[in-house]
């Protein structure tokens, strides 16, 4: 295998972490590895925040600072600059969730537009990101998804959602900054997909500026990708896709069971892995009209993409291929790939501590549920601690 075992180099992986930061990471992943502790800690934290107990400082100095860049864009700059010195770029992710009002959607829009301006000024931020439900009500997407007729007020509301998408994509194209549009639950994703395809037609005329997200734990996504490819060839625009495995598996399966329809989720982890890797193979065959952001913490998928690039004589830093991981996770992948000259970007979440808690809880639950992930993080941190003791 090409570059076999490169991800075992802990000196490169944790070069930015001080001894105390390494100890904090070890402590956090050790805690996350115990599922009952995650459940209890989540409940206690939610209670404390709702009761306005003074725990934000504690959260900030532990889990927040490990998984988030800061409370605002400027607060993230030290993290962004330090990583970029090692060749790792940043995707600033305004990780405030569950908003419902037009004012909150407009605030989210202004934040994303500001990030694009930030990105234009800093080489370290080549990509912006937003979530469809950050720009409009979940229930509105759901109604569009079912092809139900909108009333007059809802029609105007949907026009405002479209206008927010256009505002971001237009500015992204003018500033030559790629914009990733994150995925949603399957029961609103079709509505988001239609809107994002419209954006691609308008703004991906010279290259991929607008990227949709494919959750490859869905068994229908390869067919979707091929159909979108056919449309793009016919209409003459470029495609950009962020490939991920997916974020709502339990929620998707539970809803399908409850409402008695076939789950959109692959039957096994292996089937999801195969689906993800099939998409990598397909997209690297069509780099003349597609761009890939491979959002993965899976070492084998990273090795596969490296192998495909080598076999097809694609340069490590080809602008059409990016690898991406979340800040605070899988540094052994991010920094070792960057050391070899690949395009790497870390998703750097930011926002007020209280508002970012749903994101942080999801990260903790994800690390608990993904087999082997936390164990791998702990083993690598332990290896680096031992290496430093011998210096």
Handedness of CA 140, 142, 144, 147 (dihedral sign): negative
Q: Which of 49, 108, 2, 25 is nearest to 331 (CA)?
A: 25
- C-alpha distances (whole Å) from 326 to each of 13, 227, 297, 337, 341 are 14, 29, 8, 14, 19
pTM of the model: 0.93
62 and 77 assigned to the same domain: no
Are 99 and 237 in the same domain?
Answer: yes
- Do 121 and 107 belong to one domain? yes
Both 204 and 290 in one domain: the answer is yes
Give CA–CA dist 387/390, Å, rounded: 5
138 and 103 in a single domain? The answer is yes
Q: pLDDT digit string (tens) for 317-332?
A: 999 999 999 999 999 9
For residue 298, the enclosing domain spans: 73-350
Do 160 and 44 belong to one domain? no
Do 120 and 219 share a structural domain? yes
Q: What is the DSSP string of 166-229?
A: HHHHHHHHHHT-EEEE----HHHHHHHHHHHHHHHHHH-SSS--EEEEEETTBTTHHHHHHHHH
Q: What confidence score (pLDDT) does residue 202 get?
A: 98
Alpha-carbon distance values, 162 to 108, 198, 200, 316 (Å)? 14, 10, 13, 36
166-177 average pLDDT score: 98
Same domain, yes or no, for 93 and 155?
Answer: yes
pLDDT of residue 96: 73
CATH number at residue 181: 3.20.20.220
Give the C-alpha distances (Å, rounded to integers) separating 322 from 70, 81, 87, 104, 255: 24, 19, 13, 31, 33
243 in the same domain as 134: yes
Tokens at 131, concatenated:
């979530």
Mean pLDDT of 331-350: 97
Query: pLDDT tens digits for 27-85?
Result: 888 887 777 666 777 777 766 767 777 777 778 887 889 989 999 999 999 999 999 99
Instruction: Take residue 287 and report the two structure tokens written for it.
Output: 């780099």
pLDDT in the model for residue 367:
61
Closest CA to 93 of 101, 79, 84, 333: 79
């Amino acid at each position: 295998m090409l570059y076999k075992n490169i991800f075992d180099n802990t000196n490169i992986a944790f070069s930015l972490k001080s001894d105390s930061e390494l100890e904090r990471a070890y402590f956090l992943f050790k805690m996350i590895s115990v599922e009952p502790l995650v459940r209890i800690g989540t409940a206690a934290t939610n209670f404390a925040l709702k009761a306005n107990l003074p725990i934000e400082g504690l959260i900030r100095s532990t889990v927040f600072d490990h998984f988030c860049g800061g409370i605002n864009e400027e607060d993230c700059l030290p993290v962004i600059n330090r990583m970029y010195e090692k060749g790792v770029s940043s995707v600033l992710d305004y990780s405030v969730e569950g908003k419902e009002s037009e004012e909150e959607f407009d605030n989210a829009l202004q934040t994303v537009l500001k990030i694009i301006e930030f990105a234009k000024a800093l080489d370290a931020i080549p990509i912006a990101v937003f979530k469809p439900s950050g720009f409009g009500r979940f229930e509105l997407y759901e109604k569009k998804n079912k092809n139900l007729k909108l009333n007059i007020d809802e029609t105007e509301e949907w026009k405002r959602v479209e206008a927010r998408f256009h505002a971001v994509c237009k500015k992204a194209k003018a500033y030559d900054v790629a914009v990733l549009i994150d995925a949603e639950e399957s029961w609103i994703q079709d509505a988001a997909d239609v809107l994002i395809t419209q954006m691609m037609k308008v703004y991906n005329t010279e290259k991929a500026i607008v990227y949709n997200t494919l959750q490859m734990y869905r068994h229908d996504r390869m067919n979707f990708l091929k159909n979108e490819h056919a449309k793009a060839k016919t209409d003459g625009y470029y495609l950009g896709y962020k490939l991920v495995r997916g974020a709502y598996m339990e929620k998707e399966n539970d809803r399908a069971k409850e409402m008695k329809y076939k789950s959109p989720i692959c039957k096994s982890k292996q089937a999801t892995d195969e689906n993800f890797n099939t998409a990598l193979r397909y997209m690297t065959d069509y780099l003349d009209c597609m761009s890939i952001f491979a959002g993965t913490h899976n070492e084998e998928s990273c090795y596969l993409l490296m192998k495909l690039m080598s076999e097809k004589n694609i340069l490590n830093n080809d602008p059409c291929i990016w690898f991406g991981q979340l800040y605070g996770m899988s540094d052994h992948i991010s920094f070792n790939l960057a050391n070899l000259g690949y395009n790497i970007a870390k998703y750097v979440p930011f926002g007020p501590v209280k508002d970012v808690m749903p994101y942080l809880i999801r990260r903790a639950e994800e690390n608990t549920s993904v087999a082997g992930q936390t164990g791998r993080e702990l083993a690598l941190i332990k290896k680096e601690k031992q290496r430093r003791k011998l210096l």
